[in-house]
Structure 1
Amino acid sequence: MRILITGSSDGLGLLTANLLSQSHQVILHARNTSRAHDATSACPSAHTCITGDLSTLAGIRAFAAEADKHGPYDAIMHNAGLYLGPFRRTEDNMPALVAVNTIAPYLLSCLMQKPKRLIFVSSGLHQNGNAGLEDITWQQRGEGKWNDAQAYADSKLHNVVFAWGFHRRFGIPTASVDPGWVKTKMGGPNAMDDLDAAVKTFAMVCTGEGEAGKREVGHYYQMKQRGFREEAKDVETQEKLFGILEGVTGVKVPE
C-alpha cells in the first residue's frame, strides 16, 4: 500500500509512519525542509518526505499538487494539527489552527486524487465542539475573543464530520480516529492512555485491517470503535460545513 500521512515529522504521525513503513510505502509530510530532514532521519524506510505549509490556502494548494505527483494513494491520513496557542493570524486572515486543522483536510480532500481510504485524526475533545458551526474562521469574533481550547474542540468535531461527509460524497471507506491522551509533544508527560495502542489504531485505519475493516465508516480509539457526536452523521450538518468551507476556499467537494 502507498500511504500519505500529513504532519508526520514527529509525534504520532512519525510513529505511525515508522510502523507502517516496515511493510508499506509511506510518504511523509513536514512543513519545511529542516523538519523534513529530521523526519527522514527518524524514519529512513519512508519512501520520501514532501514539504508543505498547511497554514495558508496557497501552501495547501501547492502541497496538494506536489503530493499528487507521488500518488495515487491507497490511504491518506490527515494527521497534521495544531493544539493550544495564540491566534497566529495567517496571510488569509484566519487563525493558523483553523487553517491546519479544518481547512487543510477539507481542501486536500477536494483537490487531490481520491485515495482508496481517507482518514481524519480527531480527539475526544470533539465532544466540546460547536455543532452549530458558527464563525468557524473567527472572522466575526476576531483575535480579541480567541479561545484556543474551543477552536481546537471545534476543529476536531469538523474532522469527525468530514469522515461521514466525505464517505457519503466519495463512496470510499473513511474513518475518524481518536488517539486518546498519550505522551507526545502535544499530549505532554502526564498523559495516561496507551501510546502503542494509539499508533496501532492509526495503522489499522490506514490499512483497513482489524476493526476498521468491518465497516465502511467509523470512529476509532485505542484499537476499537468509540462513541462520537451524533451530529457528525447528520447530512445537513455535513453539507453546512462543506458549504462554509467552499465559501472560504472557493473549492467545492467534487462530484
Structure 2
Amino acid sequence: MRKHFLVTGANRGIGAAITRELAAAGHQLTLFCRDLKATEALVRSLPSRQGIKVLEGDLGTLAGIRAAAQAMATLPPLQGLIHNAALWPQHKIITVDGLEQSFVVNHLAPFLINLELEERFKRDGTRVVQMTAGLYPIGDRNSTATAVGDNFSAFKTYASTKLLNLATTMTFAERWQGSPATINAVHPGVVRTDLGAMTGVKGRLLNLIKRLWLTPEEGAKAPVFLSTAPELQGISGRFYDRFKEASLAPFLQDPNFREAVWQQALHTTQKRESDRGRKTAAGSGNLG
C-alpha cells in the first residue's frame, strides 16, 4: 500500500538511505532539508521522482522550526514521520535564540514539530519514529545547562540532547494514547556517517574505526521497519535498539523527570520566541 512519509535531514547519511529505501518501495515522500541542492541531487538519483516533494528549511532556530511545522501542516495526510535531522557538535555554537545549536536541532525541533502538529497526527494516524542514540545514558540530565551550553562537551552534548528528546518522546506517547497516532524511538546502530566528523589525527583515527561500523543502508533498516512493519501498527512509547525492543534507563521511566524536561522545553520554546519578538519590536521602534 502506497503511503506518505516525511523524513527530516533526508539529503545525506542515514536520511538519504531511508529516502532511497522508502522510494524503492513506491511510497510518496516529502523530504525536509537545509541543503536544497544536495537533496535535489538525491532525488535525481532515484529511479523515479514521482510523488517526491522537497521542503527547504532550517531547524536551527525556533522561528525556522515553527515555519517548518507550518509548511508540514499543509501536506497531504501523513502516514509516517521520521525525525532524522541531527547534529553532533564539535564546538559550542549559540543560536540567535541564545540556545546551544544541537539542543535546538536534536531536541527542540522534533519536540516543537510534534507539539504543533499533534492534532494533525492524531487525525491522520501518523506513525512517528524518533531517531535516537544508544549512548544517551551518558548524557547530562540538566536540561537548563544543556539548553545554553553551560555544560558543553564535544563528546557528551550529543548524548545529552538525545537523552532529553527521549524523555519528551515518551511523554508524547502518553498524550496520544487512545488515538491512532503512535511514536517510538530507535537507535539505528553505530553507523558510518559524517555525524561527529573530526579533523586532524583524531579524525583520521575515527575514520579507521568507522570502517567497522554499519553502512548508512544498514542503519536505515531499523527506522524503516518501525515506520512500515504491519506488526508494529498501534505500538507506541517504545525504545528499540535496532529491531529489538529495549528498556529505557531508570531515570527516563521517572514521570517527575520526564515532566520537568517537558516543562523546560515548553517554557524555552515559548519564552525565547517571545523575548526575540519584543527585542525586534524595540529595535524597529528605535530605527524610527
- TM-score, with length taken from structure 1: 0.87
1:17 Cα offset (Å): 1.2
Q: Is the 8 A contact 1:75 1:117 kept in 2?
A: yes
- Conservation of the 8 A alpha-carbon contact between 1:39 and 1:49: no
The answer as to whether partners of 2:139 and 2:159 remain within 8 angstroms in 1 is yes
Distance of 1:27 and 1:58 partners within structure 2: 21
* Residue of structure 1 in register with 2:31 after alignment: 28
Of 12, 15, 21, the match for 2:14: 12
Q: Could you tell me how far apart the structure 2 residues matched to 1:28 and 1:232 are?
A: 31
Does residue 206 (structure 1) correspond to residue 212 (structure 2)? The answer is: no
Q: 1:42 to 1:236 in 2, by over 3 A?
A: farther
| Kept after mapping to 2: 8 A contact 1:120/1:177 | yes
User: Is the counterpart of residue 216 in structure 1 residue 221 in structure 2?
Assistant: no
Aligned to 1:249: 269
3-state SS, counterpart of residue 148 of structure 2: coil
SS in 1 for 2:128: strand
Name the structure 1 match of 2:279: none
One-letter identity of the residue aligned with 2:260: K
- Local SS of the residue matching 2:238: strand
Q: CA deviation at 1:132?
A: 4.6
- Indicate the SS of the match to 2:186: strand
Structure 2 counterparts to residues 98-247 of structure 1, below 5 A: 98-112=103-117, 113-114=120-121, 116-138=126-148, 141=150, 146-171=152-177, 172-186=181-195, 189=207, 190-191=209-210, 192-195=212-215, 196-209=217-230, 212-213=232-233, 215-247=235-267
Q: Tell me the alpha carbon deviations over residues 48-93 of structure 1, each in whole angstroms, 9 at most, x when there is no partner.
A: 1111100001111111111221132111111100013211221111
Q: Deviations over 1:205-254 (max 9, x none)?
A: 112445x4483331122322234323223222222111001111119xxx
Identity value in percent: 23
C-alpha distance after superposition, 1:156-213 (max 9, x if no partner): 1123223311100122321111012111222764233433442111101112445x44
Tell which structure's C-alpha radius of gyration is larger: 2
Deviations 1:105-137 (A, max 9, x none): 111001122252111111011011223534231
CA distance in 2, matches of 1:33, 1:198: 23
Number of aligned residues: 246
Which structure: greater helix fraction?
A: 2
RMSD: 2.2
Q: Distance in 1 between matches of 2:193 and 2:134?
A: 16
Question: Residue 19 of structure 1: CA displacement?
Answer: 0.4
Secondary structure of 2:143's partner? coil
Contact kept in structure 2, 1:36 and 1:51, CA below 8 Å: no
Contact residue 79 and residue 126 of structure 2 kept, 8 A: yes
Residues 149 and 2 from structure 1, CA distance in 2 versus in 1: closer, same or farther, beyond 3 angstroms?
A: same
Q: 1:164 to 1:49 in 2, by over 3 A?
A: same
Secondary structure at the aligned position of 1:54 is classed as: coil
TM-score by length of 2: 0.78
* CA spacing shift, 1:42–1:54, aligned 2, 3 Å: farther
Letter matched to residue 109 of structure 1: N
Preserved CA contact (<8 Å) 1:201 1:223: yes
What CA distance in whole angstroms lies between the structure 1 residues aligned with 2:142 and 2:182?
Answer: 26
